[in-house]
Chains A and B, each alone.
Chain A
Amino acid sequence: MTGANSFSVSRYGPERARWTRIFARDSLTRRLDWPILCAAVALSLMGSLLVYSATRNRTEINQGDPYYFLIRHLMNLGIGLALMIGTIWLGHRALRNAVPILYGVSLFGVLLVLTPLGATINGSRNWIVFGGGFSLQPAEFVKITIILGMAMILAARVDAGDKPYPDHRTVLQSLGLAAVPILIVLLMPDLGTVLAMVSIILGVLLASGASNRWIFGLLTAGVIGCVAIWQLHILDEYQINRFAAFANPDLDPAGVGYNTNQARIAIGSGGLTGAGLFHGSQTTGQFVPEQQTDFVFTVAGEELGFVGAGLIIFLLGVVLWRACRIARDSTELYGTIVAAGIVAWFAFQAFENIGMTLGIMPVTGLPLPFVSYGGSSMFAVWVAVGLLQSIKVQRPMSA
């Protein structure tokens, strides 16, 4: 990671010294959080196999090339790793200074989606399509800028030692910062991403030490909002049915209920050890829609069984556990808030994504971090890993 920018001719001495330096007790590499890195790489590689299994027969989307999605997934992983390295290199503190620019760029991105440049896929207008088969979901990056921006505002005065907790005005400012992109995403409309952002806000506020009133106030507002939507018939019955179909697939048998049913059959039929990679009949027969993205977990469930699907949950657990440690061990509130925001983001998306395939959460379009196919998501989560690493690495050594 340090990069061998100067080559030594000698086979001894300096060369060895450099290696020693890399692995020295206080070196960057030694201070990296290796469990997170290994778990995330493992998840991404498993993801590439699952994506390949789900797409190798889908000729209508893989342009006749069975490896189309596999190669792209691995390329995304490579770019993601590079982004992580870059993030560590810059450091989260340096990024703090760049927050206004990042915020502005990402806001511009989501606004662009609403212009004719944006594309609608699966009912949500949240894509920007570039030429040559490249496309981006700016909303994924907004998650990062919300975390960084809120952390910046909330931690500024606390880290300066002025106050033990952010005051109400600060909290309001940070919420305002988050609200603008959330409203734009709501217009797309991409409910899943909005929910992910809301959980990020909750995580950030919790970690910031903001008054309990804010936490409960936000939760109460959310509950009242849901009840109002339900009671005032703002949504049509079919929309509510679509939402509730995860629990009772009969409510929307041709739409969401079908997905839920097929996903559950795929996972349930896996048993303990699964049908074997590339041998799942549900996967081969393409019974589960969106299987390389939102429903990628069903491939693991069917082909790798309880062992493989459980491994994915375990690896996500490793990432989240270490991220929590990093949040707790950070010497500054800024690092704590950023890490906690990432924990809330990953945890919500993992629970929602796997939960909907298992029929315990409503169906929304959210990718499973690291595993699902999708460049924007992959890039965003690896930047987040870079942030976590940076928080860990840049912590002063306990003397």
Chain B
Amino acid sequence: MTNIPETGRTPRVQIRLVVIQILVLSLLGTLGGRLWYLQIREGAQYQKEASGNHVQQVVDPAVRGDILDARGVPLADNETRLVVSASRTDLLKQKDDGKAVLTKLAGVLALKPEDVIQKVRLCDAKTPQPCWNGSPYQPIPITDEATPKQALQIRERSEDFPGITAEPEAVRRYAGPGKSNTAQVLGYLSPVTDAEIQKAKDTDSPYLRSDMVGRSGLERQYDKELRGKAGVTRYEVDNLGRVIGKAKSDAAESGSNLVTSIDSRVQRVAEYELDKAMKAARTQYDKITGENYKADSGAVIVMEAKTGRIVAMASAPTYDPNVWVGGISAKDYKALTGKDSDYPLLNRAIQGQAAPGSTFKVVSTAAAVNAGYVWDGGYPCTSSYSVGGQVFKNFEGENFGPISLGRALEVSCDTVFYGLADREWKKDGGINPKKGEPKDYFFKTAHQFGLGKETGIDLPNEVTGRVPDRQWKLNYWKANKDAWCKSGKKDGSYVEKIAYENCLEGNKMREGDEINYSIGQGDTLVTPIQEAMIYGAVANGGTEYYPTIGKAIISADGRTVQEIKPRVQRKLPVTQATLKGMDDAFAGVITRGTAAWKFGGWPQNKIPLHGKTGTAEVYGKQTTGWLATYSKDYSVIMTISQAGTGSGSAGEAVRNIYSALYGVQGDGSIDKKKALLPKPQTGLPKVRPDGTIINPKVSGDPAKDAEKAQENNPSNGDDQQPATTASPGTGNRNTRRRPHRRRGSRRMPS
């Protein structure tokens, strides 16, 4: 500006030139600022993106480990299938993006061309299935069911099929040795979801896009061990996917094999016997409901009493686990999970819960002893017990006079337990106890037995069951009182009356609640696995183990073996003397009590069995039968919903399982050669130097073999008293044990 006079130009131009200069500099300043923002402030972020840009991973999936039974027989392994895959990068290099090749391929595979083309397109927000959800650099599978002929056609004319491969690949298979199924215990696999990839991103076992993930059962519980580690090769690539940098690769590590304590033969027997028992129950007439028993679901567990290891676990209804292999169809999926299905995916051994009925008296007996009642005291076993105008009957009014606790357990005398529970209820302060006063021996003991919480078995999604103690009642009332108070009517139907009562004092422990509870009725819920754990503990002298199925994890090369040792969970809150008394009483149940009619001719002197029957009432449904038994080494629990009494519905099946385990023949003799597992399997299967596991062949059908051995069993004959003869419906809540009691009690010395 100093030279305005010199240039002789007007101020307007000079001012405008200054404006231009300032404008230009501010534009450059903007560029500098933006450059600083991108490179310095956000630089780290873009560096990450850049490295993601030019490094591509090619994944070589790891072979999933096998799941083996205790002798090494594979329950789940892998089979080789011919998988035809397309490489997107190769297809895109072709003029028409590979359309011609894919059409030709569809011809060879006998598929529709548009289906094949759809399978190789990449998924995004606008693309509906089918589409490829994985990395574009990963070969995209077109089919895993190619025949060798099709594969040969593709491989021999590879110049006609650029970018297409036909390779054998490992695909999960559930082998089902000896016709066993083990579906719910094994679980199943399905492809990993985006959410799971995100969640596991920064853990020590991140997922790969191509991964299959265990969704339930052992496949889920031991997913990390079974999955192994996929091999990843990193290539530096340019914008067209051409490899420009050197490759860094980690070889795939096969997943470890899981040895379980399941014995596939016993498993088969258990599944077969459960199914047979349910079918048999459906032919029986239930006089209470006036129709045949529905026997809609059931479970059976065979557990090693001294370790908690599961030898067999079956749940009905069941399904074929191989429907999951190679992707489940929408129709199959609906059949397994839809509203109209009977939910066969549920493992009812750990996810089914029902009132335990008289099998619960093992807890009540221990509670009575803990509360100070002497074992041999004379407790009146009257025909009924009245409380405030309400009459609690003892089955068909049997009256055994004053008896000991052991005898009460053996003959399952309800009135003895009613009386004891009622006395405790009164001692605890009745309907309005002072705060902190109730000793609640009956409830406390149930908790000490491990009820009301998971047993901790190595399977996912176990349910807890329920101990209906004061706290639970209060919470339950709070959650439901509004509904109860709305629908409750003093003089209405049965349901309305109950709602009315619950509205008034559902938050309190009523006399009738505790009386009902003492014989395992009412709101009490237990799972079969809890019963197995408790009765196993009674069998082994009072130690509850964590139930386990996994026994050892053996690395794919067989070099490292990680044993899963039995773990003690807790000790039963009982003395050895009490245990002895219970043990005797449970033996009596088999020899002369409620289960005796199913165990006639059993070689009790050689293989002493113990047991307790139970029949639980469910409002609006037929009764649930329980049979909890144990021998020296095993506890066997069977329960069938809507099938009548415990002994009637499950007695024969449980006996057949024991017969198969010990080789007991129909005539009561023992054939050691035919015994499947007279002693629990202690060792692990042997491993060959190449890492494969030596296993015996399971041929034929162990269940049919065992059945054949029972042909002349007198107690399995048709001339027996029907298992499920029901008493006339009296509306009384205590009718459930009547049918088998009718038989047993007559023979019982009083």
Contacts and interface: CB of A to CB of B under 8 A. Distances in A.
A287 B40 contact: no
Contacts of B9: 209, 333, 336
A313 B35 contact: yes
Nearest to A352: B27
Given A285-B54, A360-B30, A268 B47 contact: yes
Contacts of A281: 50-51, 53-54, 236
A346 to B, nearest CB: 9
B20 interface: yes
Interface in B15-67: 16-21, 23-25, 27-28, 30-32, 34-36, 38-40, 42-47, 49-51, 53-54
B13 A336 contact: yes
A347 B16 contact: no
Given A320-B28, A328-B17, A306 B238 contact: no
A350 B28 contact: yes
A265 B50 contact: yes
Contacts of B6: 331, 398
B498 interface: no
Contact of B38 (A267, A285, A324, A398): A267
Contacts of B157: none
Interface string A277-292: 0000110111100000
A264 B47 CA distance: 11
Contacts of A264: 38, 46
A336 B43 contact: no
Most A CB within 10 A of own CB, among B13, B18, B21, B244: B13
B43 A313 contact: no
Looking at B6, B20, B28, B54, the one whose CB has the most chain A CB atoms below 10 A away is B20
Contacts of B42: 268
A209 B18 CA distance: 13
A271 B40 contact: yes
Interface in A123-166: 164-165
Contact of B25 (A268, A284, A302, A317): A317
Contacts of B19: 206
A282 B25 contact: no
A286 B238 contact: yes
A375 interface: no
Interface residues of A, number: 55
Contact of B31 (A208, A324, A336, A354): A354
A230 interface: no
Nearest to B18: A328
A268 B239 contact: no
A189 interface: no
Given A206-B16, A264-B46, A272 B27 contact: no
Nearest to A330: B7
Contact of B43 (A203, A262, A271, A284): A271
A306 B36 contact: yes
B8 interface: yes
Interface residues of B, number: 47
A305 B31 contact: no
A107 B468 CA distance: 98
B50 A269 contact: yes
Given A164-B10, A209-B10, A265 B49 contact: yes
Contacts of A306: 35-36, 39-40
Contacts of B10: 164-165, 209
A316 B16 contact: no
Contacts of A317: 25, 28
A381 interface: no
B35 A327 contact: no
Contacts of A282: 50, 53-54
A209 B12 contact: yes
Nearest to A268: B46
A310 B35 contact: yes
A330 B4 CA distance: 10
A270 interface: yes
B24 A207 contact: no
A312 to B, nearest CB: 9
B20 A340 contact: yes
A393 interface: no
Interface string A282-326: 101111000000000000011001100110010011001100100
Contacts of A284: 54, 238, 244
Contacts of B16: 206-207, 209
B239 A286 contact: yes
Contact of B17 (A164, A265, A310, A336): A336
B237 A285 contact: yes
A287 B239 contact: yes
Given A301-B39, A324-B20, A331-B8, A265 B53 contact: yes
Contacts of B1: 328
A73 to B, nearest CB: 23
Most buried by A among B21, B42, B44: B21
Interface in B53-100: 53-54
Nearest to A267: B38
Contact of A358 (B8, B34, B50, B239): B34
A355 interface: yes
B417 to A, nearest CB: 71
Contacts of A267: 35, 38-39, 46
Contact of A203 (B20, B27, B47, B240): B20
A48 to B, nearest CB: 22
A83 interface: no
A398 B6 CA distance: 8
B712 interface: no
A265 B20 contact: no
A84 to B, nearest CB: 21
Nearest to B237: A285
A164 B25 CA distance: 28
A26 interface: no
Contacts of A350: 27-28, 31
Contacts of A206: 16-17, 19-20
Q: Which residue of B10, B25, B43, B240 has the most chain A CB atoms within 10 A of its CB atom?
A: B43
B390 interface: no
A343 interface: yes
A287 B24 contact: no
A329 interface: yes
B669 interface: no
A266 interface: yes
B493 interface: no
Given A347-B27, A350-B28, A285 B39 contact: no
Interface string A201-221: 001001111000000000000
Nearest to A337: B13
Given A265-B50, A266-B50, A358-B34, A327 B39 contact: no
B236 A285 contact: yes
B17 A351 contact: no
B14 interface: yes
Contacts of B46: 264-265, 267-269
Nearest to A208: B13
A266 B47 CA distance: 8
23 contacts: A207-B13, A265-B49, A265-B50, A281-B54, A285-B54, A301-B38, A310-B35, A313-B31, A316-B28, A317-B28, A327-B17, A328-B1, A328-B18, A328-B21, A330-B7, A331-B7, A336-B7, A336-B9, A340-B20, A350-B27, A350-B31, A354-B31, A355-B31
Given A270-B39, A282-B53, A347-B27, 10 more contacts: A206-B20, A268-B46, A284-B54, A284-B244, A285-B244, A286-B239, A306-B39, A310-B35, A324-B24, A351-B31
| Nearest 3 A/B pairs, CB to CB | A268-B46, A269-B50, A285-B238
